[in-house]
């Protein structure tokens, strides 16, 4: 079974770049324009990982992370949070309280993101079994 990754970002260019890179690497990918749409789908089918933008309409990335961590079926999913350059927030606090796996600042290398995804999924497989 392939790993299912949800990409949640309102920037279609970023979604396209990330999804192409991950699909070429053999991952199954579903894309969402905002946190609310991703949250709804996560309740139906939990992904193996979520990559989400911080700033989005309807439900931002931090709100999505909070909701994901509240359910038993999704609480251990690795989450990578994407932030715009210059947008400041307390990474350490959110990484600790929301168990965010990684924070990447835009613009970022899709190759580096792929490496981070592979590392996160390997770590998760070790924890969950």
pTM of structure: 0.89
Residue 42 has φ and ψ, to the nearest 5°, of: -65, -30
Give the chain's domains with CATH numbers.
4-120 (3.40.50.2300)
pLDDT at 129: 38
4 Cβ contact partners less than 8 Å away, ≥ 6 residues apart: 27, 28, 29, 30, 45, 47, 48, 49
Q: What is the pLDDT of residues 13-54, one digit of tens each?
A: 999 999 999 999 999 999 999 999 999 999 999 999 999 999
In which residue are the tokens 């999505």 written?
64
- Predicted pLDDT of residue 103: 86
């Amino acid at each position: 079974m392939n790993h299912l990754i949800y990409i949640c970002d309102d920037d279609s260019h970023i979604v396209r770049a990330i999804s192409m890179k991950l699909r070429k690497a053999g991952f199954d990918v579903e894309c969402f324009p905002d946190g609310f749409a991703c949250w709804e789908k996560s309740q139906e089918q939990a992904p193996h990982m979520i990559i989400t933008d911080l700033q989005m309409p309807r439900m931002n990335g931090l709100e999505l992370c909070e909701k994901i961590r509240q359910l038993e079926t999704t609480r251990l999913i690795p989450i990578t949070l994407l932030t715009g350059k210059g947008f400041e927030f307390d990474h350490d606090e959110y990484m600790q309280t929301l168990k965010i796996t990684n924070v990447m600042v835009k613009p970022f290398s899709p190759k580096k993101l792929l490496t981070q995804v592979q590392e996160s999924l390997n770590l998760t497989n070790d924890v969950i079994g």
